[in-house]
Chains A and B, each alone.
Chain A
Amino acid sequence: MKKTILLAAFAVLGLVSCNNEGTAANTVSSMKTPQMENFDKAFKSLGEPQNRPTEEERKRNTSELSDRRKALLVPASKELILSTGVTEPEMMRKTGGDMSQIIVWATQIYMKKSDEIRNNIKTDK
């Protein structure tokens, strides 16, 4: 009798465990931090009507994103940098508040985190 109950308990455990595997959908999107999601949204927002390049911006002879549009990426970039434990003063000291430096730093963090998530998914499978 004891054995049967034990067996049943294990069976239930097994079922629960398998069930969890299905519900915890292991996708990159579901494993992202809110800061990463906001970083993604900021990049997508560059295509919104009010954020598209203006005639003036399109006449420039540089490939670098314009300052107006860089500013759209800065808040999410800062959030992402701070989420790694870096303090605001540290961030400002390292970048001098320069938008390009902040965005590029955040992008490096983002790529690293996104690679880690991809690798985790691979090893889980």
Chain B
Amino acid sequence: MKKFLTILGIAAFVFGYSQNGTLIVNNYTPYDFSGYIMANNFAGGCYPFLTSSAPDMVTVPANANMGNGNELRYENYKDQYTSSLYPISQWYVQSSSTISVLRPWNHAAIMPGGTISNNTKWSATKFNMKYAGTTNGVPGFSNGLTLAGNTSCYTAPDYFDMTSGGVTNSAEIFTLTSGGINYTYIQLYTF
């Protein structure tokens, strides 16, 4: 474990990997988004791999997006609990394929600037869309999404669409990066 952490530490130093950036979920559909939020290592290997755990699936209600200020916005694993509209109180942290642990949002191990935070990026979601205010899924509108280039860590496309009754529902994940600042967007649309 110590070795593992040392290697991670060195990796962080070598790659100068900055903070995992900000995650934004914009739900432009008339349906509720219900999904796991995931992040993983990008500096070699997939671990640590973090998944939302309490709640396991985060709900971003119908039409909650930047347009009305109701988007999901996570700066990091810790501050999302106090600053976002959709707080996660606990993360499931896998440090290898066999070792995992549950960490509350304010645990030292996942602090911003710490090894885990510095070596991971928002990377994926697995979601179901539901008719607003119900637990009934929208047929066909559920999928996984992960950043292009991350499929060895999580198998999913980075874009998905389905057409039904003349309406196209689509979902995608992408990044906007410049000068070490990284925004990861997950967007859901109905057109």
Partners in one complex: yes
Cβ distance A31 to chain B, nearest Cβ, rounded Å: 9
A118-B159 in contact (CB<8A):
no
A44-B28 in contact (CB<8A):
yes
Cβ distance B188 to chain A, nearest Cβ, rounded Å: 8
A29-B67 in contact (CB<8A):
yes
Interface of B, helix, strand, loop or mixed by DSSP: strand
Interface size range of chain A in the complex:
35 or more
Interface of A, helix, strand, loop or mixed by DSSP: helix
A29-B176 in contact (CB<8A):
no
B174 nearest CB neighbor, chain A only = A65
A48-B191 in contact (CB<8A):
yes
Interface size on B, residues (CB 8 A): 36
CB 8 Å contact bits of A87-120 with B (1 = contact, 0 = none)? 0000000000010110111011011001001100
Question: Bound complex: CA of A98 vs CA of B179, how far in Å?
Answer: 11
A95 nearest CB neighbor, chain B only = B178
B159-A29 in contact (CB<8A):
no
CB 8 Å contact bits of B156-189 with A (1 = contact, 0 = none)? 0111010000001010111111110101110101
A64-B69 in contact (CB<8A):
no
A52 nearest CB neighbor, chain B only = B170
Return the contact of B178 from the options A44, A52, A98 (Cβ within 8 A).
A98
Q: Does B10 contact A (CB under 8 A)?
A: no
Cβ distance B123 to chain A, nearest Cβ, rounded Å: 9
B190: A residues at CB distance < 8 A? 47
Return the contact of B177 from the options A27, A49, A104, A118 (Cβ within 8 A).
A104
Q: List 27 A-B contacts (CB under 8 A).
A: A27-B68, A28-B69, A29-B68, A40-B65, A41-B67, A43-B185, A46-B187, A46-B189, A47-B28, A49-B191, A53-B159, A58-B157, A61-B148, A63-B148, A63-B150, A63-B158, A63-B175, A64-B174, A64-B176, A65-B175, A100-B178, A101-B178, A101-B179, A104-B178, A108-B181, A111-B22, A117-B69
